[in-house]
Structure 1
């Protein structure tokens, strides 16, 4: 599997989602969102997981949008805020209600410990890919050559410290959130030890 083998959907919704992420995310968070899709799509292709590439791509671009100041919510966890943004974006893209709900679900579920591949292949793939990109979980599931190519094309740009600061802020303001739980469980140490940063 090489970077050139990964299909990036070329649809109005996919292009729009990238435009939104580019406009609102920091360079590090934008590259993280792109990598989240690439890792997810590669894993799906390599492991025979059938998935909707457009849905996965839109969800990947939106999955951390709730961390940026313009969409940060003081009432719900960032992944839920991002799910709402994904639903609204999908409505604007003309997606039917069921597909808007799916976009929201995938964004919310990326924070789960595990997502059932049979029930939600896109959520499963995004949960795996963000686990790799943020805390370095299971890097051996992706070929070393692919990892090197993706990181060269979409560098990390100091994602670790930036993301740790975002999570600590979320945890302080929303201690009952999953981000709060992750901070208390030592996510900062896992982020700092991510082998993708070596």
Structure 2
């Protein structure tokens, strides 16, 4: 189910060490939703790269890696680059990991232009605000949430984004909170409490 490579194992170790339980489960679910959507739409990806970036995409929200100036996705991308180089990846591959993490918070990118960023965007927007519910059938939701429970993720991610928005008013978090009704969308997310769509 998950890539069995040294970098994948290391990413899980890093995420397990620094993420809260809710954020860790979110990161794993994001990978599962991304692969589910990618398979359904015939989108070929670098599976190890997708897994590592899914596990590390929110690490810039953690206390250990929050940057007082940079948006969390840029801080997380910087850490992913460092992680990749330390894992023995070529600098270009490490840069791709950083790019995917930064791009997942930007406007939609097409699957043909950047399949890994596209899948991470789809998966995380489904996780956080319930976007594209038709892509994730109720039986699949139940199975994934049974293995990796919600654990109050909606409340936690909203608080993290509001904190980021308050300290970094030009960030994508600030746009999500201030202009895109993140609080309302998080509250209506069908994954929170596994309500039907």
- On whether the aligned pair clears a TM of 0.5, the verdict is yes
**RMSD of aligned alpha carbons:** 0.7
2:116 matched residue in structure 1: 122
Task: Return the offset for 1:143.
Answer: 2.4
Consecutive unaligned residues in structure 1, runs of 5 or more: 1-6
2:10 matched residue in structure 1: 16
- Is the partner of 1:95 in helix, strand or coil? coil
> TM-score with structure 1 length normalisation?
0.95
In the alignment of these two chains, the number of paired residues is: 192
> TM-score with structure 2 length normalisation?
0.96
Among 37, 43, 67, which residue is 2:61 paired with? Answer: 67
- Is the partner of 1:195 in helix, strand or coil? coil
Residue 163, structure 1, aligned to residue 157, structure 2: yes
2:176 matched residue in structure 1: 182
Distance 2:107 2:140 in 1: 25
- Is the partner of 1:51 in helix, strand or coil? coil
1:196 matched residue in structure 2: 191
Distance 1:177 1:188 in 2: 17
Residue 53, structure 1, aligned to residue 37, structure 2: no
Distance 2:22 2:190 in 1: 17
Task: Return the offset for 1:112.
Answer: 1.5
- Is the partner of 2:116 in helix, strand or coil? helix
Task: Return the offset for 1:69.
Answer: 0.9
Consecutive unaligned residues in structure 2, runs of 5 or more: none
Distance 1:161 1:113 in 2: 24
Task: Return the offset for 1:92.
Answer: 0.6
Write the mapping of 1:85-104 to structure 2, written as runs, cut at 5 A: 85-104=79-98
Residue 136, structure 1, aligned to residue 125, structure 2: no
User: Runs ≥4 in structure 1, deviation > 3 angstroms?
Assistant: none
Task: Return the offset for 1:113.
Answer: 2.5
Residue 109, structure 1, aligned to residue 73, structure 2: no
